[in-house]
Amino acid sequence: MHLYRFRITTDTIEDFVREIDISPSQTFEDFQKVFLESGPLSTEGKVYFYKTNARWVKQHEIAEQPMLSVSKEREVDDVRLEEHRLKLPYTHISIARFKDFVDDPHQKFMIEYRGADSYLFFMEMVKILETDSLANYPKCVTHNGDIPTKPIIIPEEILEKSRKPREQKPSFRAFAEEEIPEEEIEKEMKELMEDEVFGAIIEGKDIPSPAEAPRKLTAKEIAEEFGPEFADMLSPDEEEEYEDDDFVDEDINDEFGEDKSSRDFDDDL
C-alpha cells in the first residue's frame, strides 16, 4: 500500500513548510485534524479545501459546508458572488477521500483558513511512497516555520498602555497662597505708575484722550510754519512722515540755501 506526501506552504509566513503523509483511502477530514495541529491553528476556524489545476484555478470545493451557506444572510452583492460559486462542485469533508481527487502526480490543492486570522495555503503532492504498517496516518513529517501568535492583552492592560500621564498644573489657590516679596510688589507698582493711563486712574486724574497725542503735520501746516519750499518738496506719501521735532527753528547749512547765520540783516537789503 502506498502513501501521498503533500507539501504545504504560504506566502504570508516566511519559511513556513509542512509535509504531511496520508493514505489515499483517508478523508480530508482526517487530513484537516493533523494540519490544524501542525499549524498550530485554532479548531474554531473554518477550513476550506479546493482542488485546483496546475495554475491554481479552483475546480472543486471540499469543506464542512459550502461557502454559500456562510453568506446567505449577507448583502445582496455578496450573495451574487456566492451564486457564482454554485457552479463549483462541492463535497462534504467527511466523505471526500484523497484517492477520488488525486489524478495527477503533482496534484494541487488550496486551503483557506478563516478564523481570528485568515490564511491561504498552497498544497501540492510531492511524492508517492510505500506505507509503514507500524505508523499511524495521516502524519506530519516536516515542520518548518511557525504561525505567529498574538499576545493576549486584557482590556485593563490595553487601557493602561494607552493612558497618558496627566500633567500637573498649579491651581489658582496655589497662586493665591503663594507669598510674593514686598520688593517685587513695589517694583511692579512703580512700573505701572509710570504708565500714563494707569497712573492717571490711580491718582484720580483725567485720562488723556487720543486727541492730545502728538500728531504729524500736514503739508499746509509745514508751509505756514517753515515756508512753501519745504511743503512743495514733499510727495503725498511722505507728507505724513514729518512731525514737529523733525524741523529746527534756526538757520543751518543745507541744500536749500546759503548759510545766513554770520551775515547782518542790513547786508540783505
Cell of 122: 498552497
pLDDT in tens, 204-254: 777 666 655 556 677 777 777 777 767 666 555 554 444 455 445 555 455
Report which of 30, 64, 58 is spatially closest to residue 120, judged by C-alpha positions. Answer: 58
Alpha helices in the chain (DSSP H): 28-38, 67-70, 76-85, 155-162, 172-177, 182-193, 196-203, 219-226, 228-232
pLDDT at 72: 39
Give just the sign of the alpha carbon dihedral 28, 34, 38, 39: positive
pLDDT at 200: 73
pLDDT at 177: 62
Low-confidence ranges of the chain (pLDDT < 50): 69-77, 79-80, 85, 152, 239-243, 246-247, 252, 265, 269
CB 62 within 8 A of CB 28: yes
Whole-number Cα distances in Å, 57 to 109, 151, 184, 197: 9, 36, 86, 89
Single pTM value for the model: 0.50
Q: What is the residue extent of each domain of the chain?
A: 2-147, 182-211, 214-248
CATH number of the 2-147 domain: 3.10.290.30
pLDDT at 39: 79
pLDDT at 92: 94
pLDDT in tens, 76-88: 445 445 555 456 8
Residue 172 DSSP label: H
